[in-house]
Structures are given as structure tokens and as C-alpha cells.
Amino acid sequence: MAVQQPRVTLNDGTSIPQLGFGVWQVPPDVTQRVVGEAIAAGYRSIDTAEGYDNEQGVGDAIREAGVARADLYITSKLRNGSHVRDKALKAFDETMDKLKIDQLDLFLIHWPVPAQNNYVEAWKTLVELQKSGRIKSIGVSNFDQNHLEEIIEATGVVPVVNQIELHPFYQQRDKVEFHQKHKIIIESWSPLGQGSALSNPVITRVAEKHGKTPAQAIIRWHLDEGRIVIPKSVTKSRIVENFDMFNFKLDSDDIAQLAKLDDANGKIGPKPVDGNFLF
């Protein structure tokens, strides 16, 4: 029996599980196993990308999982080098071939890559794919406010999510108001600071107070603040631990303690404006 888990309603009327499983840096040859373990642990949302080179393994896992397709929520992301329409359509076809599904739940523009200046064309192509019925919801990742304003202005279509780096050392509080105003849900990537936040004494104390692990305390913080969160692990016990989240909540004192960890130099990944040429 699947655990009752919270879902977040998106601005297009659909909904997504609030806690998902991220697969960046999960090697292709173990992806099917790892995603299979995540689904067995209760996760129903998987976050992959064309640039992760593991969509095939995600597709194999969801086919073998023994869970109805309708109960799973699959996100992928458009490659940086495929923003122009023809390339984007081709890249999307490849994604669907690898995932072996008829409709994708959520497709994101992975990075705006302003140097290419093709993210408006990419967004128009996602709108077209959504209208054709091949994608349920469309969103973006690593978009700054000006990128968001530009794509909304050009199409009238507001992304359902913006997936951005967000963890205790990089809280991006200045982004909240604009996203709330446009009903764009913030989805936290590297939610555990790629593991760096787990040994922090403040987090350890909060976790101990609730009889939980540091990873659980941080994931709970994202959930309590209303964000979608997609932690990653390839270790079965941690995959299970990171989903065992639905029997406690942080209190206002914990949240105040965590707020103090925000750090102007806490960013780990590249800045949206620089783009990320890995993907």
C-alpha cells in the first residue's frame, strides 16, 4: 500500500507529488535499479533530464515497477543545445523514445542559456508540444526573473514550476514574492546542498530534537515551506530514509534556526545567467 503523500496543485490545474526523486549523476547502468528502489520505497515522481543520459534507465524502471503509469509522475528537461524549434522537437522525440511513454507529465527548459538567446523559442516549442497533448505540464529551470518575464510576455503561458538551486545555505528568499505572484511553484534542486548541509551542527540539532536524520530534517524544511523537493541518492537505505517524511513537522523555532543558515556565498552550481554548458 502506497504511503499517503502530499501533492502540490500547479497553475494549470494539474498536481505533482511534493516529494520526488532526482537522478542527476546516477550512472546509466544503475538507473533502472535505483529508480526501481525509489518507486518501491514509495516515491511516485522522478526527475530526470536529457543531459543526465539516464532517461532509458528511468523508462525501464517505470515499465517494470508494477505501478500504474497514471500513478507515476515523470519530469524531463530540454538540452541546452536544443533550444531552437526543430532541435527541440527532435530532442523531445528522443526523450519519449527513451522513456517509452505516450505522454510526459512535466517538461522543463533545463537552463535559459542567455548567451544563445533562444529560450523564448524553446518555450514556444514547449507550449506547442503541450497543446498537441504530448506533455501535460510545462515549466522551466534556472530561470531568473527577467527570463520568466520574457517568456510569459511572449506567449501568455506561465511555467508551472521553476526548478532552482535551493538548500539551507542558499535559500533564495528574494525569489519568493515574484513566484507567488505568478503562481509558479519553486522546486528545489540540490535540496541537501549535495550532501554538504548534512553535517551542519544546527541541522544536526534540529534533526536530533525530532529523532530524525539531518537529511530528513532538511527535506521536511522544504516540504513545510511549500516547495517541491527532489533529493537524490543511489543507496537503498538513504532512498528509503529520504522518503520516510510524513510523520513529523518542524516547529517555528526550527524554521527560524534554519533561516539563519542562508549564506551569500552558499551557491554551489552555476548562475542561471552563465548557463550550464554541461547539458
Q: Which residues are catalytic?
A: 52
Q: What's the angle, vertex CA 112, arms to CA 136 and CA 160, rounded to 5? A: 30
- Cβ-based nearer residue to ligand NAD, 136 or 167: 167
Interface with ligand NAD (CB under 6 A), residue total: 26
C-alpha span between 182 and 147 (Å, rounded): 13
- Cβ-based nearer residue to ligand NAD, 24 or 92: 24
Residue in 154, 198, 255, 273 binding ligand NAD, rule: CB under 6 A: 198
DSSP assignment, residue 19?
Answer: B
CB of 178 to ligand NAD, least distance (A): 18
C-alpha span between 273 and 176 (Å, rounded): 19
Residue in 232, 257, 258, 275 binding ligand NAD, rule: CB under 6 A: 232
C-alpha span between 120 and 150 (Å, rounded): 7
* 112 belongs to the binding site for ligand NAD (CB under 6 A): no
User: For the chain, how big is the Rg over CA atoms in Å?
Assistant: 18
CB of 46 to ligand NAD, least distance (A): 9
Residue in 168, 191, 272, 275 binding ligand NAD, rule: CB under 6 A: 191
Select from 28-36, 149-157, 194-202, 251-259 the region that touches ligand NAD (CB under 6 A): 194-202
DSSP bridge partners of 16: 8
Mark residues 170-189: x for contact with ligand NAD by CB under 6 A, - for none: -------------------x
Contacts of 33 (CB under 8 A, 6+ apart): 61
* 275 belongs to the binding site for ligand NAD (CB under 6 A): no
DSSP for 84-144 reads SHHHHHHHHHHHHHHHT-SSEEEEEES---TTT--HHHHHHHHHHHHHTTSEEEEEEES--
Positions that interact with ligand NAD (CB under 6 A)? 22-24, 47, 110, 141-142, 163, 189-195, 198, 213, 215, 230-233, 238, 241-242, 269
